[in-house]
Amino acid sequence: MKRSAVLLITCPDTKGIVAAVSELLYKHDANILHADQHQDAERSLFFMRVEWDLEGFALSKSDFGERFQTIAKRFGMAWRLESAEQRPKIGLFVSKYDHCLQDLLYRHQGGELPCDIPLIIGNHPDAKRWADFHGIPFHHIPVEPGKKAEAENKQHGLLKEHGVSLVVLARYMQVLSPEFVGWYPGRIINVHHSFLPAFSGAKPYHRAFERGVKLIGATSHYVTDELDEGPIIEQDVVRISHRDGLDNLLEKGRDLEKAVLSRAVRWHIDHRILVYDRKTVVFD
C-alpha cells in the first residue's frame, strides 16, 4: 500500500505560497511525489495539491498540523491533510439499472478503486445478485410514497453503522432530501445521463433524441439540494447521428455513465478534487 500524505489548499492568491509550503516539507525531509497548483484569476483564488512520501518524513500528522498552522494563518488558507493509507468506506446506492454498479464492483475487485465497500443499498431488489456475487451485503430499502424520510433514516443508520464516508449513487433513481444531503456534504457523488446543464431531470436521452442532438453525454457531480446542479467532477460525450435510434443513444450513454462515474470516484478517493462555489478543481 502506498504510504503518502496529500495536502490540499485553498486560499487567496498571493506570492510566496508555494515557497512556504515547499520549505516546510523540505525542512522535515519530505520527498515530494506530486505537486500541482491552479489560480482562478477572476476570483483571485489559489489551489494546491501536494503529495509526499511518508518514508523518512519527520512529522506525525498532529505535529504537521501544529507546524503548518502558522503558514495557514499567514496566507488565510483552508486546508486539509489526507493519508493514502486510509481506505475510505463507500456506500453504493442503486435502483434497477445496474451497469454503473457492475462497473464499480469490477474495478474495485481489480484494485482500481482503493476503498472498502461494506454495503450496497437498493430501492429495488434487482441488483442483489451482483452484491451476492461480490460478497457484499445488500439492503433492500423501498422508498414508498409518503415514506421517504423513513427510508432515508434506515439508509443513514446503515451508513453510520458501517462508517461510510462517501455515498455513490450508481444510477439511484431517487431524489435525496435536503436532510440526507446535509448528512454528507460534499460526500455524495451522482452520475447523470446527460451533458449537464443540458437535459437535467428525467429521461434526458429521450429528450435528446427528440431534439435530434449530435452529441450526447454523461456527467458525474457532487449532490446538493438543487437537483442536478451540484459541482461537476467529470463529463464525457459521444457523437451520434440521424441514423441512431433511441436504443442506440441508451447503449452509448451507458458506456459514458460508467466511465465518468468511475473516474469521479477514483479522483475523490485519491484526494484530487477541491470544491469552491459551484465548481471543482480536479488535479491531474
Both 133 and 35 in one domain: the answer is no
Q: How many domains does the chain have?
A: 2
44 shares its domain with 117 = no
Based on the fold, state whether residues 102 and 67 are members of the same structural domain.
no
- Which of 83, 98, 116 terminates a domain? The answer is 83
Q: Whole-model pTM?
A: 0.94
CATH number of residue 263's parent domain = 3.40.50.170
pLDDT tens for the 284 residues of the chain, in order: 679 999 999 999 999 999 999 999 999 999 999 999 999 999 999 999 999 999 999 999 999 999 999 999 999 999 999 998 889 999 999 999 999 999 999 999 999 999 999 999 999 999 999 999 999 999 999 999 999 999 999 999 999 999 999 999 999 999 999 999 999 999 999 999 888 888 888 888 899 899 999 999 999 999 999 988 999 999 999 999 999 999 999 999 999 999 999 999 999 999 999 999 899 999 99
228 has catalytic annotation? yes
Please give the Cα distance from 250 to 206 (Å, whole number). Answer: 9
CATH number where 67 lies = 3.30.70.260
Give how far Cα 255 sits from Cα of 27, 86, 212, Å: 47, 30, 20
Beta strand residue intervals within the chain, DSSP E: 4-12, 31-40, 45-53, 78-83, 89-94, 116-122, 138-140, 166-169, 188-192, 215-222, 232-239, 273-276, 279-282
User: Sheet of 31-40: strands edge to edge?
Assistant: 31-40, 45-53, 4-12, 78-83
Q: What span, in angstroms and rounded, lies between the C-alpha atoms of 100 and 108? A: 12
For 189, how many CA atoms within 13 A lie in the half-sphere containing its CB? 29
The answer on 79 and 98 residing in a single domain is: no
CB 3 within 8 A of CB 85: yes
- Could you tell me the residue range of the domain that residue 210 belongs to? 89-282
Q: Which of 137, 212, 221 is nearest to 176 (CA)?
A: 221
Of the candidates 58, 83, 108, which is a domain's last residue?
A: 83
Q: Which of 98, 225, 228, 236 is catalytic?
A: 228
